[in-house]
Structure 1
Amino acid sequence: KKVEKEMQKQSNFTTYEMNKKDDTLWSGFIAMDYQGNVKAIVGGRDKKEESRVYNIATDAKRSPGSCIKPIASYAPALDQDLMTWSTLFTDEPITIKVKGKDKKWPVNYSETGDSANWSYQQLTTVEMLTRSLNTLPAQLIKKMTPAYSYNFLKEKLDITTLADSDADYSPVTVGGLTNGTKLEELVGAYMIFGNGGKKYDVTYVSKVEDADGNAIYEKSDGYKQAISESTAYVMNRMMQNVITQQDGTGRYAKLNNTDLVGKTGTSSDWFDLSFVGCTPDYVSGIWIGYENPATIPTNEYQNIGAIWKNVFGDIAENEKHKSFEKTFKMPDTVEKLTYCTKTGKLASNSCYSTATGYYKKSNEPEYCSGNH
């Protein structure tokens, strides 16, 4: 009821002073626990007048944009030890074939939707994710192959809307899927980042009893181990930077008292804005766009993270795991270590620029020689 009330407030859907009232913007929201049990779902911004009507959170298929990156490229690549928290990559395109010709792809986009040139700078994995640059996901997909990423989404994360044509670079790299995704399935895929890599079925029914109290149906507590527990935790901490860092695309969703990790998503031409966030108790997500896809005015609806916070922030701040000390538990297969920002290797005494990162014990970088 609380989420439904917040979804109906026009003021929650803009983070800037608006020139005109716009009630035509669609939105859907869903929140679940880390076993896939749905706790709240709102299928539209209007007051519900009928039953079994079109539900945006479960029926709409729209582009996830960059929300595809953690689940299609970063997580499976980290699981295969293709990189660590601080591996250095060059911000440069890959070369793909388009109509038989070589093309440098993809471009990066700024937060205002403008295309940006490649910097050709060396950046760490976590920096690339924090700023939502498109080049590293493309490089990772090239190493794994688009088919691998496609099968990971379909078989491990239960994304049902994939078309055969989605086993290609654009769909699995930047979310240019033929049919889009359902918000319900996108948010469900993110549960793996808060529960040690386990993918449960998303469900609305936990048990059905007959008149005598006998259970005639109970939800299975079975799950698929989509990624390792250590991969899940390192991904979780990397996505915390998306929220906490000054250049993080999800910084407007930051909560005061509760740990939040997540990712923003913007489709081409700003037709779709999405945010999926994980707090210690819930994984939730919101999508906004128009019924007939059109550019969302970025000066009015730019901060999708802020819109998520408007709708769900109060609930998230009042969960039972309120303090940062009672946050996502680090498994003993992960270590928090200091690394050299110049080389991406573990810091030695002669490293003058360092930062802290999280590493799988099974795949820690070597120590920096100090020769920068």
Structure 2
Amino acid sequence: ITQNPTKYDPLKHPENNKIRREWFLSEMHKQGKLTKEEYDTAMAESANMKFTGDLKKIINPEIQSYFVENCIEEVINDLVTELGYTKDYAKSLIYRGGYKIYTTIDQEMQTYLEQKYADPKTFPKINNPEYPHSSFVIMDTNGKLLALVGDRGEKTGNMLYNYATHIQRQPGSTIKPISSYALAIENDYLNFSSMVEDSPIKLKDPSTGVEKDWPVNVYGQYLGKITVDEALQRSTNTIPVKLVEMLTPSKVFDFVKASYGFMGLIDPNDRDLSSMSLGGMTKGVSTLELTAAYQIFANGGLYTKPYSYTKVLDAENKVVLEKSTVPKRIISSETATVMNRLLQNVVEGRIYGKSNAKLSNTPMGGKTGTSSNDYDHWFIGFTPYYVAGVWLGYDTNISINYKPNPYPAMVLWRNIMSGIHSKLPTKDFQYNQNVVAAEYCIETGELAGPNCTKKSMGYYKPSFIPPVCTLHSGTAQSADGENHNSQNPVSSSSSSVSTSSSSSVTSQQSSSSQSSSSKSSSSKNNNGR
């Protein structure tokens, strides 16, 4: 091993290297290892010796991307869990064992994402003196990781803190679609336009014993009866709370844990209303975990744990690891189609107008999330091509002060994903063809009759199609002649469960239209909650 290689590096310290090498030549001549002629020739060469090489690469060794470092961590973890290796031994094999890792990276997309995250112009304006950290994850609709960045700015070192995978933060309202709404629609407690009661529940303050209204809505009021479609667009807090209360926090916890494998879920702390309905978890989720959960709305209800490599070979090209990518079903394809349509409406914005995340050239759905006091900002969105998620926040609890500017997570998501989709042909999602498309009455949530003036398009599982509006066309009768009006578990009045389709419905189509506005409200725009 060369003595003090840094001090005598010929590119960094050529003079030190010259002194050292000529000392060696002198010692070799003194000890008879070199003749006088050989010594003189070598010294002449030394006097004019020039070294070639990239000094920049010497000073700054190759910087690995966040994607590559995450992939290495994934392989090491799999070597430990699947083959029983110690972590140190697994690391030694990766770095010195001649292993070949076949990654899932889309290099063009990764480079684009890194360039965008290195450019301050990519990031929307906020009012804080220092900009928060941010992470971004892009995968296909079946869990294959394509690109990832762990913080904003240019990456200047290796093994830096990765905010896409190393940190767990409260997901806020992004939990609502993947927990309460998906589970309730899967079990036919709700349909697309069920009437639900936007009103608080009573909670007793443990310190004072006084009951208080909870939760509050970001729009500062309670609206009474609204449809599920409207509740999700408004990001109403009261409805998911009542859904989780009805389903039980324990059942929802088990569903979320088994479905998505969130590592930060704490049992029993997170088996409660706040955690499962509003995302107020003890620790939280990573950007990678949360993004992966939304794949179920883009692919028909299936979940594949996100992965960044397909196989690993040893120095002799023998397979050491091969990634299993068999998906598991989380919700039915019919439920996934209904949820997909609901989340498209969130972005399309019948109530508030198109969201700041909306892409101009492709259909998409998504949901924002904000933790208490604006500590964390999220947007998870999906298109027929990709599922992508963005997070912004600080290391400590510092509020992100963005008003009156647009909600930054949505703008940042669009700034990245618009470029990703710019050259892709427009295509639609693959919907379950059993799902029924039909206009519903916004005032009742039931199928629109000829006298209903406020209507919107809804999408219904065959197992839960509402009757024709009773308010504007009399008592509804289903096709079998029975009255199927029944009380919704989360509302004093609701659309009914129907066992057979009304003649006014049509099969699922790839496009929809909406007309008329919903209940007017003086509340502030709550996009981004």
- TM-score, with length taken from structure 1: 0.91
Partner amino acid, structure 1, of 2:240: P
Q: 2:437 aligns with which of 331, 336, 343?
A: 336
One of 218, 236, 248 as aligned partner of 1:109: 218
Match in the other structure for 2:462:
361
Look up the SS of the partner of 2:356 in the other structure: helix
Residue among 308, 315, 337 paired with 2:413: 308
Q: 2:121 is matched with which residue?
A: 11
Query: What letter is aligned with 2:247?
Result: M
* 2:156 is the alignment partner of 1:49: yes
Instruction: State the Cα deviation string for residues 288-341 of structure 1 (Å, max 9, x = none).
Output: 01122201112256332111111222103333xx32xx2111112211111122
In 1, the alpha carbon distance for the partners of 2:235 and 2:352 equals 8
1:99-147 Cα deviation digits (max 9, x unpaired): 155332100013xxxxx12232x21101000111101111111110111
Corresponding residue SS for 2:390: strand
Shift in CA distance, 45/264, structure 1 to aligned 2, threshold 3 Å? same
Deviation at 1:215, TM superposition (A): 4.2
* Kept after mapping to 1: 8 A contact 2:369/2:377: yes
SS in structure 2 at match of 1:358: strand
Deviates more, 1:295-304 or 1:307-316: 295-304
Aligned residue in 1 for 2:499? none
State the one-letter code of the partner of 2:454: S
Whole-Å separation in 2 of the counterparts to 1:171 and 1:151: 12
Structure-2 residue corresponding to 1:90: 197
What per-residue deviation string (whole Å, max 9, x for no partner) do you get for residues 224-280 of structure 1? 211111111110110011111154597001111111100001111111100000011
Structure number with greater Rg is 2
Using CA pairs below 8 Å that are at least 6 residues apart, which structure has the higher relative contact order? 1
Question: 2:304 is matched with which residue: 174, 184, 200?
Answer: 200
Name the aligned partner's letter for residue 348 of structure 1.
G
* 3-state SS of paired residue (1:129): helix
Contact 2:260-2:305 at 8 Å conserved across structures: no
The counterpart of 1:293, out of the listed 370, 382, 397, is: 397
Q: Distance in 1 between matches of 2:354 and 2:451?
A: 34
Q: Quickly say closer, same or farther: Cα 1:337–1:214, change in 2 above 3 A.
A: farther
Is contact 2:172-2:371 (8 Å) kept? yes
Give the conservation status (yes or no) of the 8 Å contact 1:252–1:305.
yes
* Greater share of strand: 1
CA distance in 2, matches of 1:353, 1:23: 46
For residue 3 of structure 1, give the secondary structure of its aligned residue in structure 2: helix
Q: What pairs up with 1:254-293 in 2 under 5 angstroms?
A: 254-293=358-397
CA contact (8 A) 2:215 2:237 kept: yes
From 343, 346, 363, the equivalent of 2:447 is: 346
SS in structure 1 opposite 2:342? helix
3-state SS in 2 of match to 1:166: coil
Runs of 5+ unmatched residues, structure 1: 111-115
* Equivalent residues of 2:361, 2:421 under 8 A apart: no
Which segments of 5 or more consecutive residues in structure 2 lack a partner in the other structure?
1-110, 475-529
Shift of 1:40: 0.5
* 1:203 maps to amino acid: Y
2: CA distance between counterparts of 1:2 and 1:141? 40
Counterpart position of 1:233: 337
**Shift of residue 197 of structure 1?**
0.7
How is 1:202-217 mapped onto 2 (pairs within 5 angstroms)? 202-210=306-314, 215-217=319-321
Do the aligned residues in 2 keep the contact of 1:183 with 1:286 (CA within 8 Å)? yes
AA partner of residue 179 (structure 1):
K
CA–CA separation in structure 1 for the residues paired with 2:174 and 2:252: 14
CA distance change for structure 1 residues 178 and 305 in 2, over 3 Å: closer, same or farther?
same
Q: Distance in 1 between matches of 2:137 and 2:402?
A: 23
Distance in structure 1 (CA, Å) of the matches to 2:251 and 2:420:
37
The whole-number CA distance in structure 2 between the counterparts of 1:298 and 1:60 is 22
How far is 1:85 from its partner? 0.6
Aligned-partner Cα distance in 2 for 1:62–1:342:
38
Secondary structure at 2:269 match in 1: helix
d(CA) in 2 for partners of 1:247 and 1:26?
31
- Contact 1:279–1:316 (CA<8 Å) still a contact in 2? no
Structure 1 residue 154 and structure 2 residue 257: aligned? yes
- CA distance in structure 1 between the partners assigned to 2:323 and 2:435 by the alignment: 32
1:38 has 2:145 as partner: yes
Secondary structure (helix, strand or coil) at the match of 1:71 reads: helix
Provide the aligned length of Structure 1 versus Structure 2. Answer: 359
Q: CA 1:24/1:257 → structure 2, altered by over 3 Å: closer, same or farther?
A: closer
Q: Equivalent residue for 1:113?
A: none
Q: CA shift at 1:214, angstroms? A: 5.3
- 1:190 and 2:294 matched: yes
- Give the aligned residue type for 2:214: W
1:80-99 CA-to-partner distances (Å, cap 9, x unmatched) read 11111111112111223441
Task: Name the residue aligned to 1:73.
Answer: 180
Query: TM-score when scaled to structure 2?
Result: 0.65
CA change 1:191–1:58 in 2 (3 A) is: same
Find the aligned partners of 1:91 and 1:56 in 2 and give their Cα distance: 35
8 A Cα contact 2:301 2:332, kept in partner: yes
Quote the Cα distance in structure 2 between the aligned partners of 1:59 and 1:176: 19
